[in-house]
Amino acid sequence: MSIRRQSERLSAERLSATRILRRGMLLALPFLLWGYPAGWPVWQLLLCGLAPVTVSVTVWVWCGSLRRFRMLYGVFLILLVCGVWELWTAGRVPAVLEAQLQLPRAPGEPNLYFEYDLPAVEARLFPGLAEALLLQAVQLNYCGSGLAGLSAHPACRKYAEVDARAVRGVLEAALRQQPKTNEDIYYSYIEVLRGTGGSAAEIAAARAEWRRLFPFSDRPDPLAGDESAVVPRRRGAGY
């Protein structure tokens, strides 16, 4: 008798879940029919299609024979919602923050240093941070490079000076924080010292500090050649 009742209960649970699934699919169908021609991204269409399935499975777990796993299933749903939210907001700048930053636009191909003015964004979010100052030094180097149109760009006009000595000053401000994990700052400072006429003692001291902190660096010795160009660098980012 107990086996029969258990079988009847399972059948009732499946029937209830099936009904919820059918009704949910009927509710989601108009969104799918309207969203696909409207050009919704694939993940939104999948979300509309999976929502009824998620609701029916939730009812089945919560009220059926698997209710002993309700807490585990609830944690899974929370993680799923958080994951969908992260995917939806990944790489976006909130509209309120974008309006406050007033990001300038530049002609041509988009780039982080000018069209989106990443250094200004970093400086606003993390004022005085060594990595943010390195981005400003790279941008200053571009502004003073003589490339057509860059000196008049809004991203360059915010600086009082755009010469090599201004780049050196920004890097020295970053080095005062002793960013021992950022090789870009130390390596770029050596090249800037050479380009701005730094003394031999200053260049040797900067090189010794770079070698001390990064003894296994695969970068070439900046004093091995005769070049003296000012080229602040940041790996993984370019103009």
The pLDDT tens digits of the residues spanning 60-113 come to 777 766 777 778 888 888 888 888 777 776 656 566 655 555 544 544 545 667
Closest CA to 232 of 159, 134, 166: 134
Backbone torsion region of residue 182, taken as left when φ is above 0, otherwise alpha when ψ lies between -120 and 50, otherwise beta: beta
Helices marked H in 116-236: 118-125, 130-143, 154-157, 164-175, 183-195, 200-213
The mean pLDDT of 35-57, rounded to a whole number, is: 75
Q: What is the pLDDT of residues 162-183, one digit of tens each?
A: 888 889 999 999 999 888 878 8
Q: For 67-95, b where at least 16 C-beta lie within 10 A, e where not — what string?
A: eeeeeebeeeeeeeeeeeeeeeeeeeeee
User: Residue 227 above 50 pLDDT?
Assistant: no
User: Residue 239 above 60 pLDDT?
Assistant: no
The mean pLDDT of 135-148, rounded to a whole number, is: 81
* Residue 143 to residue 147: CA distance in whole angstroms: 8
